[in-house]
Amino acid sequence: MKEEIIKGALYVVATPIGNLEDISRRAAAILEGVDCVAAEDTRTSGVLLAHLGIKKPMVSYHSYNERRRVTDLVDRLRHGEAIAVVTDAGTPAISDPAFALVRAAVDAGVRVIPIPGASAVLAALVASGLPTDRFVFEGFLPLKKGRASRLQLLKEEARTIVVYEAPHRVERTLQDLATALGDRQAVLARELTKKFEEIRRGSLSDLLEGVRRKAPRGEIVLVIQGANGGKSSRESSHAEDSGSTIETA
């Protein structure tokens, strides 16, 4: 069924994180039907549109022009244009531009329509082998100010922890995590859905040693065991139930 495009609506469209075949049919229909695509990098998104055989006016929307671009885009939305916002990869507003635009659109009474799809956070999490029923996404850890205090907070976090990291900083981050949290089980996932996809599993010290032996390339997601020893909430509840006793008079 062909998607009916709603005029004056902002579509938040998830795009592939690597493999272009991961684009959904609905996302492709939206990109083809809107009046304009606001893209983090018009060159990167242009490759996707060309792959889909779509020709569409595009405007750049990234962290450096966000403030002035939001005003213009919301004005266009209020005048009836249908606009899709996309990032280089994955779901907009998840460690990528879009939050400010979505907030401004909501404040202006503009309808915001999510078009779900690929997410590096979820892809890494479900393949990790660590509990998935409760998790916390930290994005990129602070580089300097606030880094130590953030790591201390994570030390007590019982849920599975997911963070993003750049390849040139991953060694330092693994070292900092091991120091602050202890040598927990973790997963390093890189280049997810791409030709050279790799998922490394082991303790934080194992992963650190591996990174020192062979520096990883590409976008990286780290998944770290929570403070509860890696048990899911279901397993924890079962253990508590099994250990309970009933006293009788």
Give the closest residue to 119 by CA, choosing from 52, 204, 25, 189: 189
The predicted model scores a pTM of 0.88
**What local confidence, expressed as pLDDT, does residue 248 receive?**
37
Q: How many domains does the chain have?
A: 2
Question: In this structure, are 109 and 130 located in the same domain?
Answer: no
Residues 93-129 as b or e (16 or more Cβ within 10 Å = b): bbbbbbeebbebbeeeebeeeebebbbbbbbbbebbe
Q: ∠54-103-157 over CA atoms, to 5°?
A: 105
Question: In this structure, are 65 and 18 located in the same domain?
Answer: yes
Question: In this structure, are 42 and 128 located in the same domain?
Answer: no
Question: In this structure, are 134 and 228 located in the same domain?
Answer: yes
Retrieve residue 92's tokens. 């907009």
pLDDT tens-place values along the chain, 249 residues long: 578 999 999 999 999 999 999 999 999 999 999 999 999 999 999 999 999 999 999 999 998 888 889 999 999 999 999 999 999 999 999 988 899 999 999 999 999 999 999 999 999 999 999 999 999 999 999 999 999 999 999 999 999 999 999 999 999 999 999 999 999 999 999 999 999 999 999 999 999 999 999 999 999 999 999 997 766 666 655 555 555 444 433
CB-based burial of residue 218 (10 Å sphere; 0-12 exposed, 13-18 middle, 19+ buried)?
middle
Q: Do residues 184 and 224 touch, judged by C-beta distance below 8 A?
A: yes
Helix residue spans in 108-213 (DSSP H): 120-128, 147-155, 170-181, 204-213
Here the CATH number for the domain that contains residue 180 is 3.30.950.10
Question: In this structure, are 21 and 86 located in the same domain?
Answer: yes
3-state SS assignment for residue 113: strand
Range of the domain at 217: 120-233
Question: In this structure, are 133 and 110 located in the same domain?
Answer: no
- Is 68 a member of any domain? yes
